[in-house]
Amino acid sequence: MQPPAAAPARYDADALETFCRAVFLAAGADEATAEAATRAMMHGSRLGVDSHGVRLLGHYVATMTGGRVNPRPDLRFLTEFGAVATLDAGDAHGALGAYHAQRKAVELAGRFGIGAVAIRNNSHFGPAGAFALAAAEAGCIGLAFCNSDSFMRLHEGAERFHGTNPIAIAVPVKGGNPWLFDMATSAIPYNRVQLYRSLGRPLPEGTASDPRGRNTTDPEQAEMLAPLGGEFGFKGAGLAGFVEILSAVLTGMRLSFEILPMPGPDMSTPRGMGAFVMAIRPDAFLPQEEFESRMARYLEALRGSQAVPGGTVMAPGDREWAEAERRRTLGIPIDRATMDAFARLAGTYGIPAPVPLAPPPDGPLRRHTEK
């Protein structure tokens, strides 16, 4: 295993956003693709989900210039039946397909109280929470699901089967940040392994297996991920299967073990991925004021419940919103591998690379700890 890496440098969020968007445009993406891809990555980097943040910029550019992802796609709704629709994303960047579909789901929820959109011919979309949050920001309960290339073993399995198959849910909260739940159905996401490799950090116990299915904490030896649940991993495997049904079976797209690996080497063939999003309008079920007051009462009771000594009870999203506030002040931490990738992209496209923020006057910034 590599020795521990130096503490990441920190960057201004606006500077990172400007750089990422400029690189996408210079690489041939249209405005909608550049905006959606950047928005999704910045969601990850702002909220502390670094495995799905701006570290993916170089990979996404490679998929666009190589032909795997269409940087100027034609998105079309193939069917619409009441509150449901099917979107053909035209091999778009996954974030563009997901945001486009979620806007449609919100529109359908405005008419029917609920909206659901199946997405065909999409690609890796990054942090699922970004697309659930898009619905919450429009006043709806949002859900987002996507399967991915096979990387997670089954419970008591010794080969890759499901992808990390995330589930994300966001609920609007009056006067506060949305309740935001975003999880992989594997013990950790695949991109976390890549991030820990670049940081030279060991993986948590019981989260990954070597090529023979034995548990390992060495990210260099991680061949597959464990399902969520540890000794009760059938729970994570079952949830991954549910996401597989929504994202692949229901959309007619590829099952996880049929999807080309995210890292390549083939960057020219579209991956044929599916996804699924939903939006639910609360006032279709009860008066808006009652929904808001009940959510407030629920969250007050949750956050006020007794914690174990030294512990803190938090609602889903509390940790991420607190990290977002901290990063607004201190900047976004970027690991060395990502900084090197920025330098290469800046040189390729003639775009000034973002400059790290100066450390605060009271000493070096604390090392970022992945949640």
The tokens for 95 are 């974030």
Q: How far apart are CA 261 and CA 148, in angstroms?
A: 9
The tokens for 350 are 């003639």
Q: With both helix axes pointing from N to C terminus, report the angle between 13-26 and 57-66 in degrees, rounded to the nearest 10.
A: 10
Peptide bond into 309 cis (omega under 30): no
The whole model's pTM is what?
0.91
Residue 213 neighbours by CB under 8 Å, 6+ apart: 153, 157, 158, 159, 224
Give kind and range of the element (H or E) at residue 250.
none
DSSP character string of 128-187: THHHHHHHHHTTSEEEEEE--SS-EEPTT--SEEE----EEEEE--TTSPPEEEEE-SBS
CB 132 within 8 A of CB 179: no
Give me the tens of pLDDT residue by residue for the chain, a chain 371 residues long. 444 556 679 999 999 999 999 999 999 999 999 999 999 999 999 999 998 999 999 999 999 999 999 999 999 999 999 999 999 999 999 999 999 999 999 999 999 999 999 999 999 999 999 999 999 999 999 999 999 999 999 999 999 999 999 999 999 999 999 999 999 999 987 778 877 888 889 999 889 999 888 889 999 999 999 999 988 999 999 999 999 999 999 999 999 999 999 999 999 999 999 999 999 999 999 999 999 999 999 999 999 999 999 999 999 999 999 999 999 999 999 999 999 999 999 999 999 999 999 875 554 444 333 33
Cα torsion 247, 248, 254, 256 to 10°: value is: 70
pLDDT of res. 364: 46
CB 216 within 8 A of CB 161: no
Cα torsion 110, 136, 187, 310 to 10°: value is: -150
Q: Helix, strand or coil for residue 286?
A: coil
Q: Helix, strand or coil for residue 76?
A: strand
Q: How far apart are CA 11 and CA 358, in angstroms?
A: 9
Q: How far apart are CA 25 and CA 349, in angstroms?
A: 10
Q: Helix, strand or coil for residue 7?
A: coil
Q: How far apart are CA 134 and CA 178, in angstroms?
A: 10
